Amino acid sequence: MSALFVKYKTEVLSKLKEEFKIKNSLAVPKIVKIVVNIGLSEALTNKKAIQSAADHLALITGQRPIATKAKRAISGFKLMQGSEIGLKVTLRRQRMYDFLEKIITIVLPRVRDFRGVLEESFDDRGNFTLGLRESLVFPEIDYSKIDKVRGLELTIVTTAKTNKKGKRLLELLGMPFKKEKSKM
């Protein structure tokens, strides 16, 4: 069992129950899945880009990715309907908790000039999206073996109904949120 899952069961569950005055343990917010996504615009011209990115994503997540396809044609981008333009992996259960623990303890501290994740990255339903500019922060990636530096996007889907509950869940699990608002 993942240390993060044990922490959720032993500490986080009771704290959330108490803070939000939830009586039923099944109504307490929890993480449902993590979706890792890579957009590959260069796949339209370079077919090897899909395979290369798929290998890296499989190495990072421990699970084989599936290709995402264009829903409609856009002639300005030379995009045809059904073209493969990205990859995604959906992590659940044990792999999800292991991956989240790796993100919090290993990956985020390795990001250059990291000051915390922005809480504005919540949608209005308690789900959190985090973008990483380069996948080199993952310890599994060997810089000498990559063809191009690619970014990726993580979406943490929760059962929380509000951003406040979703943020508190992730805070208690150890997600390092930025203390002050960004000044942009």
Domains with residue ranges and CATH for the chain = 3-40+56-66+87-173 (3.30.1440.10)
66 touches 87 (CB < 8 A): yes
Name the burial class of residue 22, with classes exposed (0-12), middle (13-18) and buried (19+) by CB atoms within 10 angstroms of its CB.
Answer: middle
Q: Which residue has the higher pLDDT, 21 or 109?
A: 21
Provide mean pLDDT across the span 153-158.
Answer: 88
Q: How many other β-carbons are positioned within 10 Å of the β-carbon of residue 26?
A: 7
In degrees and rounded to multiples of 5, residue 48 shows phi and psi of -75, -15
Q: How confident is the model at residue 19 (pLDDT cuts 50, 70, 90)?
A: confident
pTM more than 0.95: no
Longest pairwise C-alpha distance within the chain: 55
33 touches 89 (CB < 8 A): no
Half-sphere exposure of 179 (CA within 13 A, CB side): 1
The rounded distance, in Å, linking the Cα atoms of 160 and 170 is 11
